[in-house]
Amino acid sequence: MTIRELFEKELSRFNKDQLEAIVKAAIQELLDHITMANTIPKVVTELLNELEKEQLKIIRFLIYLKEFGPSTEIRGTAINYLGEMLGQPVQVQDPYGELIIFGDPFADRQTFRDKLRTLFNAPYNRALATNGPRYCGRSHSRILVRHVGQQIGINVVYIDLLTSTVSEMIDQLINEMQLGLEKRDPMAQDSTKTKDFLAKFRGMSQNQFLPNNTRWCVVFDHHDLPETLPSSKEFAELMIKDQLENSLRNVWVVMLGLGTCSQISPVQIAKMIPVDLLRIEPADIEIYINELHLKKNQQPLDLVTLQTEKQRVLEGLTLPLQTIDSMLTISDRLRQYF
């Protein structure tokens, strides 16, 4: 996919109201003249075609999203699209080893990087499960999955099980994957909806994804939280079970935080690629700062300077990190080294 196509894909994740709010905030205009298009992807394509007729307008639009985009992914793809327009295309050598992803620092996680590479190169058992304590950056790992997927041609759908019902997950998959499935019975039980959708999904993977060489990765999050609805957990588990039984073709599944399963046997769980994620340590910060400096200057930092810079990043923080605010603080401080 081209850089513009990647940007379009991320922008198309917003609904009409959200898109109108973004356009109004970015360039003080309305979408009225192009909202005759019947799908959000078509609206986005027409919008960008219109904006590209005036270079200053598209640049203003991208600068706004680069700074204020509502997701890491949209900010990152806006940065790449803007860079291409200004003659500074992004050069990616190894997507698994990138230090800056969608404009955000991605420190350490070497084990996750290695296991993700194994997953996307696996001929079967294309399912990965992470485990780890809170504030270990587990959910943040989704951005590496999306980044790698963009570079190697695997489309990624992220589903937060904690905030999604079965109906909402099905709607999201139908919309993002453009499956073209008929509306289901809204009065059916969640278990019935799940089984009905997954049966159709298995067929589409065989008859649509495989012949067209369309590849998808579904990323689930928060399966291990007690607040997550049992029906939502069941949906994710049964999709993983289909993958492990080789019933899904051209589909990978990543579970960020696998808890106790009721639909997957221990034998099947053992087939999944396991990843244990740990909280960030001082050594991780030190390695990251040095790698950034090496990439920019073709030489490592001297040890005294490296220790000083590490202390600056960690000043006033208690490790291991125990709050979202502390993780955001470290992220903001690391950006000064970009």
Q: What is the pLDDT of residue 37?
A: 60
Across the chain, mean pLDDT equals 89
Dump pLDDT digits (tens) for 243-291.
Answer: 999 999 999 999 999 999 999 999 999 999 999 988 888 989 999 999 9
pLDDT tops 80 at residue 93: no
Q: What's the whole-number mean pLDDT along residues 197-225?
A: 94
pLDDT tops 60 at residue 91: no
Instruction: Give the β-pairing of 100-101 and 104-105.
Output: antiparallel
Secondary structure class of 131 (helix, strand, coil): strand
Comparison of pLDDT for 138 and 129, the residue scoring more: 129
Q: What is the pLDDT of residue 189?
A: 94
Window from 24-38, 66-80, 109-123, 296-310 with minimum mean pLDDT: 24-38
Q: What is the pLDDT of residue 206?
A: 92
How many angstroms separate the CA atoms of 49 and 331, rounded?
A: 35
Name the band, by pLDDT with cuts 50, 70 and 90, for residue 202: very high
Q: What is the pLDDT of residue 119?
A: 96
Comparison of pLDDT for 93 and 242, the residue scoring more: 242
Contact (CB, 8 A) for 209 and 200: no
Fold classified for 100-276 = Rossmann fold (3.40.50)
Q: Give the Å distances, CA to CA, from 75 to 20, 65, 71, 170, 305.
A: 17, 6, 6, 26, 31
Comparison of pLDDT for 8 and 159, the residue scoring more: 159
pLDDT tops 90 at residue 299: no
How many angstroms separate the CA atoms of 303 and 300, rounded?
A: 9
Q: What is the pLDDT of residue 144?
A: 93
Q: Which residues neighbour 54 within 8 Å (Cβ) at sequence distance 6 or greater? A: none
Q: What is the pLDDT of residue 274?
A: 96
Q: What is the pLDDT of residue 34?
A: 67
* Extents of the domains making up the chain: 3-85, 100-276, 280-337
Q: What is the pLDDT of residue 35?
A: 59
Secondary structure class of 100 (helix, strand, coil): strand
Mean pLDDT comparison of 87-96, 179-188, 253-262, 325-334, highest-scoring range: 253-262
Dump pLDDT digits (tens) for 135-194.
Answer: 788 888 999 999 999 888 899 999 999 999 999 999 999 999 989 887 777 788 999 999
pLDDT tops 70 at residue 92: no
pLDDT tops 60 at residue 90: no
Q: What is the pLDDT of residue 158?
A: 96
Q: What is the pLDDT of residue 215?
A: 93
pLDDT tops 90 at residue 195: yes
Q: Which residues neighbour 84 within 8 Å (Cβ) at sequence distance 6 or greater? A: 3, 4, 90
| Phi, psi values for residue 13, rounded to 5° | -75, -15
Cis peptide bond prior to 320, omega within 30° of 0:
yes
pLDDT tops 70 at residue 310: yes
